[in-house]
Amino acid sequence: MDIITTAYGWEFLIRWLHFLSGVAWIGMLWYFNFVQTPFFGSELGGGAKGAMTRGLVPNALWWFRWGAMFTFLTGWTIILLKLHGGTALTDPYFARILTGGLMGTFMWANVWFIIWPAQKVVIASAEQVAGGGEAIPEAAARGARAGAASRINTLFSIPMLFFMGSASHFQTFLGGSSLAAWYGLMILIVVAVEIHALIGPGLPTQKPLTSVSGTIHAGLALTAVLYVVGCIV
């Protein structure tokens, strides 16, 4: 009964919910970017896009956005519990987990404030067309912006998972680093990438993110850059 009678047990339950929510969220994110979007770009998928946007996509987006919400809430609950338990912000553990947490927070914000509002317009436009009406004029542009933010989230998911895993399982990383320098450089790099989600399509550096392979390679490259920075600061 320790799982419900001790603080450690409750922390484990919150962490378990964090894992469950994260699997749902990132699983849907990768489905959208690795499966659905390329399918919609094919001849067969293009013909099915309208029906899927009205039927399948809203349900998938429900799991997507609420997976993001519960991952965000449980993740920051864990961090607050660690702080309450006496773990210092200057601990390398926190440097690793807060790095993943920062990227995860940007990803959550992209879901709720860019992707979901834009997708509501896209779905409404598809419903109007199916009913014999005209498409909503801004639907295509909003869909493109949602797609750009979704690719940025996919990019972020790769280093985010690296740093979340490293918090407990790669304990030597950042152990000898200047954490003030790390936080400054890490935030600068992560914010520079997030700008692509805020501005959307049109930036020259968005081009690699137009393909699945380009997005994966960009995510691995960001992971490598952050790792090298952590080793030299």
Query: Apex CA 176: angle with CA 102 and CA 15, to 5°?
Result: 40
CA dihedral (181, 161, 37, 62) positive or negative = negative
Is the separation of the CB atoms in 101 and 75 below 8 Å? yes
* Token code pair at residue 69: 């919400």
Structural tokens at position 18: 């964090």
Tell me what pLDDT residue 15 has. 93
Q: Return the amino acid letter for 117.
A: P
- Type of residue numbered 48: A
Closest CA to 91 of 11, 170, 174, 8: 174
Quick one: pLDDT at residue 200? 67
* pLDDT given for residue 5 in this prediction: 81
Does pTM top 0.85 for this prediction? yes
Residue 86's pLDDT is: 79
Residue in this structure with the two tokens 């995860």, named with its chain if needed: 104
pLDDT at 226: 97
Q: Which residues of the chain have pLDDT under 50?
A: none
Contacts of 209 by beta carbon, 8 Å cutoff, 6+ apart: 148, 151, 152, 155, 196, 215, 218
Q: Which residues contact 228 (CB under 8 A, 6 or more apart)?
A: none
What is the spatial distance between Cα 89 and Cα 82, in angstroms, rounded to a whole number? 10
pLDDT value, residue 2: 81
- Burial of 204 per CB tally in 10 Å (0-12, 13-18, 19+): exposed
Rounded distance, CA 153 to CA 158, Å?
A: 9
Selection from 65, 158, 71 nearest residue 115 by Cα: 65
Q: From CA 224, how far away is CA 23, in angstroms rounded?
A: 23
The pLDDT of residue 205 is: 65
Whole-number pLDDT of residue 48: 92
Residue 202 confidence (pLDDT):
66
Q: CB of 175 within 8 A of CB of 111? A: no
